[in-house]
Amino acid sequence: MKRVLLLLMIPAGLLYAHSVVLTLDAPDTNISGLAWGNDNLWALDATTRFIHQFSPTTGDIVSTFYFDYVESMNPTGLAYSTTLDRVVAGGWLGTNGYVYQYTPDGTFITKTSMCGG
C-alpha cells in the first residue's frame, strides 16, 4: 500500500513543478527591495537611493524617483499597496525602522516611525 501511495504522489508533485520563464537584469547596482504592483515590478536601490518602476516583460525602466531618506539610513525593503495605490519603502536608522509612502509617480506622502530604539 505504501508503494502505491508514493507512486501517486510523485506525478502529482510534477504537476506543480515550476520553471524559469524569463530573467531580467537588475535596473540598478544594489537592489535591496523588490515589489509587484500596478502591473509592474518595482526595485529599491540601497546605493543610488532610487526607486525604479520597470516592465516585467522587457525589463525596461518605466519611471524612476528618488527615495529621500536620512543619509545614514539603511534601505531594507519595498512593497506596493494596491489598495492605497502607493509605493512603500522601508529603512533602518540605528534601531528605529521607518516606512515611507509615495504615489506611483514618486510624490512623497508620509513617513512613519515603526519602532523606537
Residues 76-94 have pLDDT tens digits of 899 999 999 999 999 888 8
* pLDDT the model gives residue 6: 40
Which CATH number covers residue 101? 2.40.128.630
Asked if residue 34 belongs to a domain, the reply is yes
Q: Is residue 79 part of a domain?
A: yes
Q: With contact defined as beta carbons under 8 Å apart, do 52 and 27 qualify?
A: yes
Domain count, the chain: 1
Range of the domain at 76: 30-113
3 is a domain residue: no
Whether residue 117 is predicted with pLDDT greater than 60 in this model: the reply is no
Query: Measuring CA to CA, which residue among 73, 33, 74, 72 is closest to residue 51?
Result: 33
Whether 82 is in a domain gets the answer: yes
Global confidence as pTM: 0.77
The answer to whether 46 touches 28, Cβ cutoff 8 Å, is no
Q: Which three cell numbers stand for residue 3?
A: 508503494
